[in-house]
Amino acid sequence: MYGLVHRALQCFSQDTYGDVVWNKVVAEAGVQVHEYEAMLFYPDHHLDDVLLALSNHLDKTPAQVSEDVGAYLVTHQRMEAVRRLLRFGGTTFEEFVLSLDELHDRVKLALPELDLPELEVEAHSGSSFSVLVKSERHRFGAVLLGMLRAMADDFGTLVMLDLGMSTLGSDDVERATIELFETDFATGRGFGLVAEERSR
């Protein structure tokens, strides 16, 4: 898979816990890479190995760490590009959630080789949604949950989120459920269609 994903995990680990932890984790995981390059390709198992080693080191479950990674992608200054690209999905949190089934195609437009899982959004009512993660790899759901939580903050929306399993055809897939409580619970962060630094 694209090193972009590996690098996200690396940046999360380094920015949150420091270089020392990261170096221990890669040694523990037995991968021969200390610095992942976003535009190169690395084996998928690196992700599992590093995530497991990091979780063990932090005494957390891989799902907890994955959720933290999701939140980090949206909130950390270094990952501002991710937040901005996600905000293109809509002007409200609700619109953003409804745009998630476009995310796979959107990402493909920019990086054809980054194969993110397809998402399917179901609206149960005006304030209740669920997102199915169409992937055999049961890890992305937790990342998605962390991203949704952080994006809700970003829009200033109060939500309740949960992650469970669901069946899609004959497959077991992850399902994130979203309950919207207050859309203008707090002041969200701003978003302009063109990033600030592009003007300079």
Partner 1 sequence: MKDDAAPSAPTTAVPFDPGALGALMPMHLHVSPTGHILSVGPTLSKLRPDEILVGQRFLEVFEVKRPMHIHQFGDLLNHGSCLIRTKFRTGHRLGLKGLFVPLAAQHPLLPDRRQSGAARPVLLPNPHTVADTQPAFSGALINLSLGVNVVEAVQRYSLSSADFAPADPTVDMLYLIEAKSVALEESKRLNARLEGARVEAETQAYTDTLTGLQNRRSMDTLLHQLERSGEPFGLMHLDLDYFKQVNDTFGHGAGDYVLKRVSTVLQDETRASDLVARVGGDEFVLVFRGCVNLAVLEGIALRIITRLEEPIAYNGHQCRISASIGTTLSSFYQIPAADRMLHDADQALYKSKDRGRARHTVFDPEQRDARN
Question: Of 27, 43, 44, 85, which one interacts with partner 1 (CB under 8 A)?
Answer: 85
Assess 39 for contact with partner 1 (CB under 8 A).
Answer: yes
Query: How many angstroms separate the CA atoms of 25 and 154, rounded?
Result: 31
Site string for partner 1, 103-132 (x = CB under 8 A): ---x--xxx---------------------
Assess 160 for contact with partner 1 (CB under 8 A).
Answer: no
Q: Which amino acid does the sequence have at 194?
A: V
Question: Of 18, 23, 34, 37, which one interacts with partner 1 (CB under 8 A)?
Answer: 37
The single-letter DSSP state of residue 160 is: E
The single-letter DSSP state of residue 191 is: -
Assess 1 for contact with partner 1 (CB under 8 A).
Answer: no
Q: Cα 37 vs. chain centroid, distance in angstroms?
A: 19
Assess 81 for contact with partner 1 (CB under 8 A).
Answer: yes
CB of 143 closer than 8 Å to CB of 176: no
Assess 170 for contact with partner 1 (CB under 8 A).
Answer: no
Retrieve residue 64's tokens.
């907890």
Q: How far is the CB of 13 from partner 1 (least distance, A)?
A: 19
Q: How many CB atoms lie within 10 A of CB 7?
A: 17
The single-letter DSSP state of residue 135 is: -
**Residue ranges binding partner 1 (CB under 8 A):** 4, 37-40, 81, 84-85, 88, 90-91, 106, 109-111, 192-195, 198-199
